[in-house]
Structure 1
Amino acid sequence: MDLDAIKTASLAFVEANKEWTPLVVGVLAFCESLAFLSLLVPSTVLLIGIGALMGAVGIPFWPVVLAAALGAILGDWLSYEVGRHYTDATKRLWPMSRYPDMVARGEDFCRRWGAMGVAVGRFFGPARAVVPLIAGAFGVARMPFQVANVLSALVWAFAMLAPGAGLFTYFRG
């Protein structure tokens, strides 16, 4: 199945089952934020499409934003805990083992920015799911990590869904 078919089927499902939108979006945000799984699931495209669909068909905005934030928080938290548990062994896991330069840059980034790097990293494509893993592996403390995780997830969820929902609502009305 290609990306367009997945996108079309997912958006059709959400449109036909509006009450499931928060759950669908929460799962997509979790997949988008979980190390390695984010490489396999086209969540960004789907989240932006669902944002547009929300505005077009009247799906309530805030419950979906909160579900997206919760999914992102849980995905980053799990990635962080995996990194914390496996520490240096994370460098030998796929795809980290294939990109040692990226891992080295991630280590430097975490040393320099700490938990603030987690907040910033959430907004940069492929780094989004890897930064929490690296933060856990290289010793960013739990509490600062979680504060950055929660706050950035709320902003990220809003930023992913609001443009489509707002644009379609504006042009429809």
Structure 2
Amino acid sequence: MGNRGRILGDAVSYWIGNAYGPALLKSGALRKRRRSVARARLLFYRYGFLAVFAGRFMGAFRSLIPGMAGIMKMPQGRFQLANVLSGAIWFPWLLLPGYLGVRGADALGATGSAAILAILAVVCIIAIVSRRKRAGRQP
């Protein structure tokens, strides 16, 4: 049901956007997200089909692009093609890094896996410390 649910959800967002059009842009929920809506609109203007396809892989735009396609009156056939294609590969693409990581760790054995975990822990600690330092410097 996962792929079908994502595809159906985006199709419903498209139909709502198509039915209610620009009036949705003035709604309270989208008014709070003006900057994201403006970026999604620009992305859609520039790339159309590709924006719908790639929008599923971009967290900030994932929920906005299908409705924006409806608001902008993208032909339904083109939208549904991008929707179905991206929906079919999104979940496997999401799991691929973990799968490859496990396969690589298995190939390295227990010692190599422990070394990789230690390196990842150090990288995470460095990222957290640098982020806190940056946050402390900002007024």
Q: Which TM-score band (shorter chain)?
A: 0.5 to 0.7
1:103 corresponding residue in structure 2: 37
2:12 corresponding residue in structure 1: 78
1:156 corresponding residue in structure 2: 90
Q: 1:161 to 1:70 in 2, by over 3 A?
A: farther
1:52-91 maps to which residues of 2 (within 5 A)? Answer: 67-91=1-25
Number of matched pairs: 107
Q: d(CA) in 1 for partners of 2:44 and 2:19? A: 17
Question: Which consecutive unaligned segments of at least 5 residues does structure 1 have?
Answer: 1-66
1:53 corresponding residue in structure 2: none
Task: Give the drift of 1:113.
Answer: 1.3
Q: d(CA) in 1 for partners of 2:33 and 2:65? A: 14
Aligned-pair identity in percent equals 33
Q: d(CA) in 2 for partners of 1:170 and 1:101? A: 40
Give TM-score scaled by structure 1 length: 0.55
Q: 1:170 to 1:68 in 2, by over 3 A?
A: farther
Contact 2:36 2:61 in 1 (8 A): no
Contact 2:49 2:82 in 1 (8 A): yes
Question: Which consecutive unaligned segments of at least 5 residues does structure 2 have?
Answer: 108-139
Partner-residue secondary structure (3-state), 2:59: coil
1:122 corresponding residue in structure 2: 56
Give TM-score scaled by structure 2 length: 0.67
Partner-residue secondary structure (3-state), 1:85: helix
1:147 corresponding residue in structure 2: 81
Q: d(CA) in 1 for partners of 2:77 and 2:16? A: 16
Q: Deviations over 1:99-147 (max 9, x none)?
A: 2232222222222211221011111112101110111111111000011
Please provide the CA RMSD for this pair: 2.0
